[in-house]
Amino acid sequence: MVEECKPVLNTGLRGLIIASSKISDVRGSEGKLIYRGYLIQDLADKVCFEETAYLLLYEKLPDTDELVAFKEKLKTERHIPQEVIDALKTRPHGALPMDILQAGIGLLAHHDSDVRDQSRDAALRMAIRLIARMPTLLAAWGRIRQGEDVVSPSSDLDHAANFLYMLHGKVPDHEVARFLDTCLVLHAEHSFNASTFAAREVASTKAHMYAAIAAGVGSLSGDLHGGANVRVMEMLKTIGSIENVESFVKKTISEGKKIMGLGHAVYQTDDPRTFILAPMSKRMGERVGETKWYDLSKTLEKVAKAAFKKEKGLDLPVNVDFYSASLYYSIGIPVDFFSPVFAISRVAGWTTHVLEEQFADAAAKPALYRPESKYVGEYCGPDQCEFVTIDKR
């Protein structure tokens, strides 16, 4: 007997509230992003990434002593086991960096005895280790695939500066480190987006922190999510110069394709992070003597928005990936590292969500995620197919 079907929603769960959360709020119609009650504009250039991670994990902004202690804690947790470095050295240099990051998280789990401990304290310790170690893992891969020596973390440098130091092998200029730091603040959290949902869904089974965060990385890697910043830079390079923008947009519309970095599942206005990223992209371009990518982005934004409105009646907002592409490029981050850099920030949000998923008060604690699907496959008859042994098929 076929069970009575529940409503079918092929809408990617859009507009459905599936859990309550105290971590962040995305108000799509107002263009607001709020971390633990604070507007992103108020945090962006006033707090560092470490402060943001503290705010997310501990539900309050740290005072000076708390921030100093938290920074120290992260510094002591930055080193990754030599066995993990050695394992990375066996990987093909052409492997996708998001795959390396995801696999590396699995490798780090092998060296953490807390994976067997289901307490909140253990989950928090793993969260802090992942926040501290993912940049080390990524930078190490950046060096290894170029045939260069791995650079050990520096305890003299803060989180963002230390990542650039480990990646490039030299201490970055203060302003450059500050720009990356602000990017990490902006990317740290964004409510129930696809990757956060993936991490929470895995956490809802009581899987450990590393399993949940590896799932988040896998989800983030897709072009429609964190992979978009890579595609934005590739698109800018394909366009090449401002003279080609009009024809590129025309062709994109006629072929029914998308402009990467535009559109959003929740924001109906421009993403508030854009207003912080765009000026940084311009300033970084000026610093390196190449404003071309910022200028191209600015023109593309204007032309594409107008054309999609005129031709298709669409109001396409700019999303976080649009200007972060040119900004990361000017900072000297390799293009295929753009999404992994997003991930080394978002891990602060993911880990906080895992803690909330697994340890929220009983009343607010979500259940194991288990949606249903409507079976539209074969029955071959009223109830089921008659089984035929292999020799008779």
Ligand X SMILES: CC(C)(COP(=O)(O)OP(=O)(O)OC[C@H]1O[C@@H](n2cnc3c(N)ncnc32)[C@H](O)[C@@H]1OP(=O)(O)O)[C@@H](O)C(=O)NCCC(=O)NCCS
x-marked contacts with ligand X along 300-319 as a string, rule CB under 6 A: --------x---x-x-x--x
Residue whose tokens read 């987006």: 193
Residue 184 CB, nearest approach to ligand X (Å): 17
Q: How far apart are CA 114 and CA 121, in angstroms?
A: 9
What b/e readout covers 279-288, taking b as 16+ CB neighbours within 10 angstroms?
Answer: ebbbebbeee
Which residues 318-357 are close enough to bind ligand X by CB under 6 A? 319-321
Give the number of residues written for the chain.
Answer: 393
Contact flag: residue 33 with ligand X (CB under 6 A) = no
Among 75, 258, 346, 353, interactor with ligand X by CB under 6 A: 258
Phi, psi of 300 (to 5 degrees): -60, -45
Contact flag: residue 194 with ligand X (CB under 6 A) = no
Among 75, 129, 200, 264, interactor with ligand X by CB under 6 A: 264
162 vs 195, beta carbon nearer ligand X: 195
Contact flag: residue 260 with ligand X (CB under 6 A) = yes
9 vs 224, beta carbon nearer ligand X: 224
Residue 232 CB, nearest approach to ligand X (Å): 7
Residue 15 CB, nearest approach to ligand X (Å): 11
Give the residue closest to ligand X by C-beta: 263
x-marked contacts with ligand X along 48-77 as a string, rule CB under 6 A: ------------------------------
User: Do residues 358 and 123 make contact, with C-beta atoms less than 8 angstroms apart?
Assistant: yes
Contact flag: residue 273 with ligand X (CB under 6 A) = no
AA identity, residue 77: E
Contact flag: residue 13 with ligand X (CB under 6 A) = no
Which residues 212-241 are close enough to bind ligand X by CB under 6 A? 224, 228
Residue 342 CB, nearest approach to ligand X (Å): 10
| Sign of the CA dihedral with 286 first, then 287, 290, and 293 last | negative
DSSP 23-61: SEEEETTTTEEEETTEEHHHHHTTS-HHHHHHHHHHSS-
Q: How far apart are CA 288 and CA 273, in angstroms?
A: 23
Helices (H), the chain: 40-44, 49-58, 64-76, 82-89, 97-110, 120-144, 159-168, 174-187, 194-203, 209-220, 228-239, 245-254, 274-287, 292-312, 320-331, 338-359
Contact flag: residue 261 with ligand X (CB under 6 A) = yes
Catalytic amino acids? Answer: 225, 264, 321
What's the token pair of residue 46?
């006033």
Among 259, 318, 331, 347, interactor with ligand X by CB under 6 A: 259
210 vs 338, beta carbon nearer ligand X: 338
Q: Which residues bind ligand X (CB under 6 A)?
A: 224, 228, 258-265, 308, 312, 314, 316, 319-321
